Amino acid sequence: MPVLPGAEPYRHEGGRVGVLLCHGFTGSPQSLRPWAERLAERDLTVSLPLLPGHGTRWEDLQLTGWQDWYAELDRELRALRDRCDQVFVAGLSMGGTLALRLAARHGDAVSGVVVVNPANHMHGPAAYALPVLRHLLPSTKGIASDIAKPGAEELGYDRVPLHAAHSLRALFRVVDRELPQVTQPLLLLRSPQDHVVPPADSARVLSRVSSRDVREVLLEQSYHVATLDHDADRIVQESLAFIGRLAPSVGKEGTATGG
């Protein structure tokens, strides 16, 4: 299936500091593209892949699982490590979950983690019915475009495939067990008004990681897809400041030196 216009992966070859960005479940790189481009303007090397099963039609996502999504990001991280001196991982929602797993698994190969409204648990009674429900019902209503800003829209599926949702539930359990292995500096940005992921998920992440260098930022003007919402600039500014503090080769203006 052809990729939907706007959902294409994004890459920028910049300096010796790299950032791997991870989009969310049923979403696409479009939700993080403005953030990626702003990082690229500072001469950071940026990778924003399209996860398997995403960016085409929801039926394609039905044929994939969390191992496929994680494997794509793992490959991208290794490629960034081959050409960069330092690499940071960042993600929105499930992308934040996957970014935390990359940090847990790769240790010192990851210099820092930035997560926006990270997901940690599947809530509600439907979650417990998923093992059976997924065999009876192919999909349910979509979760895309939880955005406060008028006119802003996320390019994501209008249906959630339940086989993939069941796999997502398994991912949450795996990553929750691995959170104590996350020791890197962590920047967590969350929206108090989020209609997809509740505040309890961010609280759980913060309580489970072993990171000592932790900063939590509230995105008061945004809903779940904060990267396309009123606080999009705040996310860019906070992440650039975070990376600049931890990467000596990034100048005061956020420009990565070297080639």
94 is in an annotated binding site: yes
Count Cα atoms within 13 angstroms, Cβ side, for 248.
1
249 is catalytic: no
Give the active site residue among 47, 111, 146, 194. 194
Query: Which of 143, 100, 145 lies closest to 124 in space, CA to CA?
Result: 143
123 is catalytic: no
How many Cβ atoms are within 10 Å of 11's Cβ, its own excluded? 15
Q: Find the helix or strand (DSSP H, E) in which 114 lies.
A: strand 112-116
C-alpha distance from residue 85 to each of 14, 109, 173, 239, 247 (Å):
12, 9, 32, 18, 9
∠ Cα 102 233 150 (to 5°): 110
Give the active site residue among 31, 47, 93, 167. 93
1 is in an annotated binding site: no
Cα 35 from Cα 39, distance rounded (Å): 6
Count Cα atoms within 13 angstroms, Cβ side, for 73.
32
Query: Which of 250, 16, 15, 243 lies closest to 111 in space, CA to CA?
Result: 243
Cα 32 from Cα 228, distance rounded (Å): 8
Give the active site residue among 146, 224, 229, 230. 224
Cα 19 from Cα 102, distance rounded (Å): 12
239 is catalytic: no
Query: Which of 175, 172, 178, 181 lies closest to 108 in space, CA to CA?
Result: 181
Tokens of 227: 């990267």
Q: Provide the annotated binding site for substrate.
A: 25, 94
Annotated binding residues, written as ranges, equal 25, 94
List the catalytic residues: 93, 194, 224
